[in-house]
A and B are shown apart, each in its own frame.
Chain A
């Protein structure tokens, strides 16, 4: 695109005056969410427990609600975590809706633990004026290391009650207007000789007189970057050490306290559903430096993750995309899988609308930011998409969106003028930058789904949970054979089977030794003697429909019994076998 064209489009945009824009749809407050949880607990027809599992950095309670069908034993536990990122409120709303539904109809055999608001400090930012969406908790952090804390955050420069973006004409800028949609910006393609026109930064001023803008906003550590998996040390939003954020630590402790967790459902920006996870086979592992932690999905676990993703996509009517993705550094998903061996499914639920010709829209399998995408595809810093790491550097690479997504959002905004999602660029006098343009997406427009979508997302989550129960591994006795030999010698054979659709233990769970093996233990009556066979036989990881055989030789008078205990993390079951019959098959 020529500079002349860019300028003319800019001129059109600048000529537009700011509209009076409605606030984003209201979100329930943290206090209201606590009230909802109390109400659900009180009115449920099932066994429901409401725990406080910790406190946020800002002192807000961290809640967990556990539901199990009344009078039914639970063999598996499923943990659902939402709101770990403040900029993902859709998951919080969907989890609450699903919780309200499950409180009156939870599937048998599972205990579901909801942590519906894992980072309430960040969520509470939606209730402040002006709204500055954040993933950070309320822990004070001196981002610019100037001995002053949280003293230079964004400011409402144009006085419209919102924090939008600012673009400043600057020959050193890296951004140009998108030729297809000049209200949007993209990176100048320097390889093609294109020259940048704008610097782009969040709406704000230099509050502390250090010539930097917005470089030390309020808070905090981002709990979703604070877990020990591939922990990004020395990266400001990740904290000083893994699990420094009390929110992250509370979740880690919660999972450690529930070693029988068979599935973690994470409603976050990480999408393990529409894209395939990059994996590493045994040759790849062998090639890795010895004694280093895995960062790619174990290829042996790919079928299980694929099955979970397929089930999730079916529940939400999502489509699969072609790209590959990987566990983000420092995220809960990676900690749960790599360190604890827990199967994980993670999705933001609400993302870029697939805008249709008719004007109808619904959330789709939006393309998440990809490492492969070129800079030109990326979206400039906006309130909902700003990188903490980039603060203080006005032309830092943005994260959290791409240009194609931004185009879709803009079209969605145009088709839904009642949502007032985009502020046209308008000129404002800035105290230190001179004349700037303020505009862009309204905070909350892209993050908070319409009310009817929340209901749909809640229904989808309940459907996924119901479907997922059938996938979970189950260790069952496949057959028992006994044979007797002369001299009161007996051979006992036990075969067990995994009747679920994901392995009894993930390959990574075997490697990290965190998921303990089930044990098959023979118990003998007095007067009998075990000649051979394991006293505590560990059961293998067992893929779906996988079988494993155990054998014991016993010296015992006919009529004596041997009891086989199957000691699983979910509990112990027993089978008593009478010795003496020549051959029995169960």
Chain B
């Protein structure tokens, strides 16, 4: 360093302090005010760590119908107009608006000039608490910005694009129409699922008019089911030497179209989370894929928005259920992801496991099932963005143990902790074809969604996992810029750019597939001429790679990783002010000035 004039040095520990903050949340403790958090930007008057009087009061122990979700978004936007924008990015098949709440720090010039995280939910209409998780994230960010230093700091650096309902039609239908916990997964475009040229003509039928789609059973001496000795409401298979009592007839329904089949062509009948472009497969390979990628208005609107926002550097999508943190690949045929990116994924996933009890970090095709044309596989494989899907809620949370509940234990939970509201006992009914039957079973909100008293914790943990993920997006800095006068009268300028976060400015996937634009380092100064420029490939011993053309505008196609600073050396002639600018699509543009004396 002898003889060198260190013009600037920026070394921070924001990442470490933020990790500590998350770890504290994970332990469920009240956030103490540490010296590190007190140093972070924020109001001069300390606020109490717990939010006692939110500006937007929302009950987080219940689920919200589709108009209510939109209304909450409007309320948040109205209360926080300085740090939100509410944007309808498109309309659904049935004409509902697809509302994205853009959340940034107060006074941010633009949500685009900084890394952003895309968070969505409810692409499957029945996977409802995904939307509440998105709402909670937006609410938590807004209520705590300019109050909790870590959140203020985060929102000063990044943006969020939050779409709680990718599939508002499916959600609305799930809430308002008779359904099971798994039905209304699709959107509402009329679809001919049984190949008879007619769309949606044979769905479920609420035979007893109770607003539910439950199970049908018929008393049948030839049946192979009998009442459980543990609880008469439960059915168990008769042993080979036992007489049965019941035949199970599936979900409530009749053969509406007279083709000899029941419930085979209900409303919609496709899967929008198989309609994304990367490794998309036609419907005969991947059920529900649609006619081509982005063939549905909802997926197209999301696709257009994301493609139009190259600053998105993190993606989180919420589904239910199972307690999973999922990454791609969606299919074995894709092969494995680049090792450098897997390391980042592993860091995100393992941290997620520590925040989310009973959740497991998994690879889609290997640990769950094959998915062609999935959303997070598109955003990573197609766009190079680190992307995760969380399957919200696991039955293990009921008993707070790793072993699944038995059917009897689940009924006991319902009887004792839910006052019996989730299960409807068998009641007689008349079926037009099967005659006298009984209808009963688990209601739609009993299987894939948390009971009300466990909703808030589920939302909080997952929202804070998003906040952690967002904090890992690239943060670039001119770590060191040194100017060294040379005996020739020229100056040597050595520039070191670092990334303080685990997510690189260009993922290995983006690099290898030429996705997006490279980073760009510019050096400009009136009266200053660049005579030579090179990237520093190795420091010990030093090895330079000279730049042949456009020395004032060097493209860095490898990006900046946390462990791999980007270093450039210039030899310049002339005097005066020199401005260095580093552009990256997935990080805020950074600038630095030096003066050549």
Residues of A at the B interface (CB closer than 8 Å) are 142, 145-147, 209-211, 228, 231, 233-234, 236, 240-243, 249, 252, 256, 289, 291-293, 338-339, 511-514, 516-517, 519, 534-536, 538, 567, 569
Chain A nearest CB: distance from B149 CB in Å? 36
Contact in complex: B293, A228 (CB < 8 Å): yes
Closest residue of A by beta carbon distance from B259: A536
Having A240-B382, A514-B283, one finds 4 other A-B pairs with CB under 8 Å, namely A233-B279, A233-B382, A252-B292, A292-B285
B303-358 residues with Cβ-Cβ distance < 8 A to A are: 303, 307, 331, 333
What A residues does B513 contact at CB under 8 A?
233-234
B128-175 residues with Cβ-Cβ distance < 8 A to A are: none
Contact in complex: A241, B277 (CB < 8 Å): yes
Known contacts A228-B280, A233-B277, A293-B281; A145 and B550 CB within 8 A of each other: no
Contact in complex: A210, B550 (CB < 8 Å): yes
Contact in complex: A292, B333 (CB < 8 Å): yes
- The answer, yes or no, to whether B196 is at the interface (CB within 8 Å) is yes
Contact in complex: B195, A513 (CB < 8 Å): yes
Contact in complex: A147, B282 (CB < 8 Å): no
What B residues does A145 contact at CB under 8 A?
514, 516-518, 555, 557
B520-563 residues with Cβ-Cβ distance < 8 A to A are: 520, 548-550, 555, 557
Cross-chain pairs A/B with CB under 8 angstroms, 11 sampled: A145-B557, A147-B520, A233-B277, A233-B279, A243-B292, A291-B281, A293-B282, A293-B285, A512-B284, A516-B196, A535-B260
Closest residue of A by beta carbon distance from B509: A234
Contact in complex: A535, B333 (CB < 8 Å): no
> What is the 8 Å Cβ interface bit string for chain B, positions 239-278, against chain A (1 contact, 0 not)?
0000000000000000001111000000000000000011
What A residues does B370 contact at CB under 8 A?
291
What A residues does B279 contact at CB under 8 A?
233
- The answer, yes or no, to whether B197 is at the interface (CB within 8 Å) is yes
Interface centre among B195, B281, B282 (most CB of A within 10 A): B282
> What is the 8 Å Cβ interface bit string for chain B, positions 287-303, against chain A (1 contact, 0 not)?
00001111000000001
Known contacts A231-B280, A291-B286, A293-B285; A146 and B555 CB within 8 A of each other: yes
- The answer, yes or no, to whether B106 is at the interface (CB within 8 Å) is no
Q: How far is the CA of A240 from the CA of B278 in the complex (A)?
A: 10
Chain A nearest CB: distance from B366 CB in Å? 15
Chain A nearest CB: distance from B297 CB in Å? 13
Number of contacting residues on B, CB 8 A? 42
Chain A nearest CB: distance from B408 CB in Å? 37
Q: How far is the CA of A228 from the CA of B294 in the complex (A)?
A: 11
Q: How far is the CA of A144 from the CA of B467 in the complex (A)?
A: 35
Chain B nearest CB: distance from A179 CB in Å? 37
Q: How far is the CA of A211 from the CA of B549 in the complex (A)?
A: 7
Contact in complex: A242, B515 (CB < 8 Å): no
Known contacts A147-B520, A233-B382, A241-B294; A516 and B195 CB within 8 A of each other: yes
Q: How far is the CA of A228 from the CA of B333 in the complex (A)?
A: 17
Closest residue of A by beta carbon distance from B520: A147
What A residues does B557 contact at CB under 8 A?
145
Closest residue of B by beta carbon distance from A210: B549
What B residues does A534 contact at CB under 8 A?
260
What B residues does A256 contact at CB under 8 A?
291
Q: How far is the CA of A18 from the CA of B331 in the complex (A)?
A: 57
What B residues does A231 contact at CB under 8 A?
277, 280
What A residues does B550 contact at CB under 8 A?
209-210
What B residues does A146 contact at CB under 8 A?
517-518, 555
Contact in complex: B197, A567 (CB < 8 Å): yes
Contact in complex: A252, B291 (CB < 8 Å): yes
What A residues does B516 contact at CB under 8 A?
145
What A residues does B260 contact at CB under 8 A?
534-536
